[in-house]
Structure 1
Amino acid sequence: MSDRLRTALGPLDLSAPLLTAAGCAGTGRELAAFFELSKLGAFVTPSVTLRPRAGRPTPRVTEAPSALLTAMGLPGPGIEGFLDRDLPWLAEQDVPVVVSIAGDSAEEFGELAARLRGAPGVAAIEVNVACPNVEDRGRMFSRHPRSAASVVRAARAGAAPGTPVLAKLAPDAADLANVALACVDAGADGLTLINTVEGTAIDTTTLRPTLTGVSGGLSGPAIRPIALRCVYQVHAALPDVPIVGVGGVTSGLDALEFLLAGASAVGVGTTLFHDPGAVPRILRELDEALAARRLGRVADAVGLAHKPAGYAPPLAGIDVPPPAAPAEPAGELKETLP
């Protein structure tokens, strides 16, 4: 893989800037049938909960214009099943594993992080602050700085020292930058922006909501402008905080947009449902896009859209001579100048 694609998320060094988005790549076994997981910068697991969950009843998936609307309800085997069956297999795949965790209270997040201490292959923990929680009447922790910080603080306390903690946020906070700052102050080493956008679909035949849960999470290309706005906004406020940009990435140029907005790495999710072999293609396209713009590494592109007009990034492998001195006016013209 090209050295141009190496990047870092705080203390986490990645061979490539592409990660899976939580919940969009199964346990990893499904995706491994299409390409070697080692091509990824990291594999992000589905959100793991304390106890097994069956998820919401069907129908819980429907299509939307350029998007997918889902209300899965975080189905999964629970932390014990994950540690017994899924994590050992992932630990053998030569790919950093970012374990996404979700809970109904700050205490549950702390307990989940503690259960991952010493588990093989865990490179980082992603705290799904954007999942519904019982303590706040079905709202999401990430809508409020104080509740978001309480979850991150609990996870940080439970996690093994030195294990990076990422906070995954939703886009519908009144002041997203303030929520992001609260998470960083509480111990987050980086941020994942964004989770799905809440939406609803109505079946015009039954005249009822399409999903049994009424509302669900919108993902796919339709939300990319929203995700880019969030990454751009948070990077402007917290330029030194690593960001994983997620939302509607289908190509290398889509990934480049997130880097330019301020992300250091990019998550690929919904596109894997219809193109499970997309990762090698997107990486190749991104590498070509960086080379075409004379950018020698991912870091040269991160936040470039924030630079003032006329800013010239370092050019890979090119010695740029200093500008020549202005030419002296010639002959008669020189004499007429004041």
Structure 2
Amino acid sequence: MINTTATIAGVKFKNPIVMASGTFGFGREYGKFYDVSMLGGISGKGLTLNPKAGNPGVRVYETASGLLNSVGLENPGVEAFLAKELPYWETLDTARIVNLGGNTLQDYVRGAELIQEDANARKASGRKAVDMIELNISCPNVKEGGIAFGVKTVAAKEVVRAVRKATKLPLAVKLSPNAEDIAEMAQMCEAEGADAVSLINTISGMKIDVRRRRSVFNNLYAGLSGPAIKPIALRMVHQVATRVSIPVIGMGGITSATDVIEFIMAGATVVQVGTYNFMNLRAGSELVEQLQQFMLEENIMSLGEIRGIV
């Protein structure tokens, strides 16, 4: 029997295929193409304490082997998610991960508190609740002049520590590739009580419209994702996995079962699939099937046999 399961802080994943935040909504739309309960997990659309309209102008632009995005965290806000989207998640048999962002320390903390309060109430009534919070520390910190929390270890430490105190839910921290030292950042997260780290977030990029003589994006720069960033992401996952003892959630340009295996061999416990969802509407179901087939062909009975082998 092939064993594709994994566990992070008591949260069980039936397989290592998790849909990445911002690329899968909350799963409803993709549920029209396949049963999303076959996935290991879903990291929902990035949430902030209050609703956000997102960025004006062009939001996505396809580039060589990748995608630039400047969506600006458009989302309904934490309370609207808990009231309108979480009931749908209760119907799914998969790990439910809330991606939480914020502009200030207070926003992060209050968002985590609301999610924890809701989880307490649901569990008390025997209902399914959020399984894990994925803390997105790559959002602009308005009190630091636009510097992302995720770049400066000192600033990130304050957020991780405060959110850890605000929730008892398993906590993963999503790391920015722009961090001064991503391995050091991961070690700090572990020291402050994070149960896992996930990486990498998008890499800052740019596209210029040569006829209009300006950036395609109103915000000038945008986040690059997709196959173009996979070698960088794989290297960073390997560097982090060798420096921390908590699980690593790897992501960045995954489009095949062999990509999944590479990240697991680099030390990832599970992986997240993002841009590939736009390339293939059945990406999740196909990757789950292809992974099982690969393991059969290579006589891999459990992912634990190869995890961190490189």
TM-score normalised according to structure 1 size: 0.86
Shift of residue 292 of structure 1? 2.6
Amino acid at match of 2:132: A
2:80 is matched with: 81
Which residue of the other structure, out of 128, 143, 154, is the alignment partner of 1:135? Answer: 143
2:287 is matched with: 282
CA distance in 2, matches of 1:295, 1:146: 41
CA contact (8 A) 2:2 2:296 kept: no
248 and 261 in structure 1: CA distance in 2 versus 1, 3 angstrom threshold: same
Which residue of the other structure, out of 291, 312, 316, is the alignment partner of 2:296? Answer: 291
Matched, 1:261 2:266: yes
Secondary structure at the counterpart of residue 114 of structure 1? helix
CA distance in 2, matches of 1:95, 1:7: 12
1:145 is matched with: 153
Aligned 1:18-97 pairs, distance under 5 A:
18-97=17-96
In structure 2, stretches of 5+ residues that fail to align are 123-128
Amino acid at match of 2:107: E
Identity over aligned residues, as a percent? 36
CA distance in 2, matches of 1:63, 1:132: 24
2:173 is matched with: 167
Amino acid at match of 1:31: Y
Matched, 1:224 2:230: yes
Shift of residue 3 of structure 1? 4.5
CA distance in 2, matches of 1:78, 1:226: 32
CA contact (8 A) 2:26 2:44 kept: yes
2:201 is matched with: 195
Deviates more, 1:2-11 or 1:272-281: 2-11
Matched, 1:103 2:102: yes
CA contact (8 A) 2:26 2:42 kept: no
CA distance in 1, matches of 2:297, 2:147: 45
RMSD between aligned residues: 1.2
Shift of residue 215 of structure 1? 0.5
CA contact (8 A) 2:171 2:195 kept: yes
CA contact (8 A) 1:112 1:158 kept: no
Matched, 1:4 2:3: yes
Matched, 1:179 2:185: yes
CA distance in 2, matches of 1:174, 1:96: 31
CA contact (8 A) 1:60 1:213 kept: no
CA contact (8 A) 1:196 1:219 kept: yes
CA distance in 2, matches of 1:208, 1:76: 28
Amino acid at match of 2:137: V
CA contact (8 A) 2:137 2:173 kept: yes
Matched, 1:154 2:162: yes
CA contact (8 A) 1:150 1:186 kept: no
CA contact (8 A) 1:48 1:79 kept: yes
- C-alpha offsets along residues 119-153 of structure 1, whole Å, 9 cap, x if unaligned? 34200000001122212211111111111121111
TM-score normalised according to structure 2 size: 0.94
Count, aligned residues: 301
Deviates more, 1:98-107 or 1:117-126: 117-126
CA contact (8 A) 2:53 2:75 kept: yes
- Determine which structure has more spread, i.e. the larger CA radius of gyration: 1
1:325 is matched with: none
Secondary structure at the counterpart of residue 29 of structure 1? coil
Shift of residue 10 of structure 1? 3.0
CA distance in 1, matches of 2:140, 2:235: 23
Secondary structure at the counterpart of residue 201 of structure 2? coil
CA distance in 2, matches of 1:132, 1:289: 40
1:236 is matched with: 242
CA distance in 2, matches of 1:84, 1:37: 21
1:303 is matched with: 308
- C-alpha offsets along residues 190-234 of structure 1, whole Å, 9 cap, x if unaligned? 010111001111111111101111101000000001110110000
CA distance in 2, matches of 1:300, 1:268: 22
CA contact (8 A) 1:146 1:182 kept: no
Shift of residue 69 of structure 1? 0.3
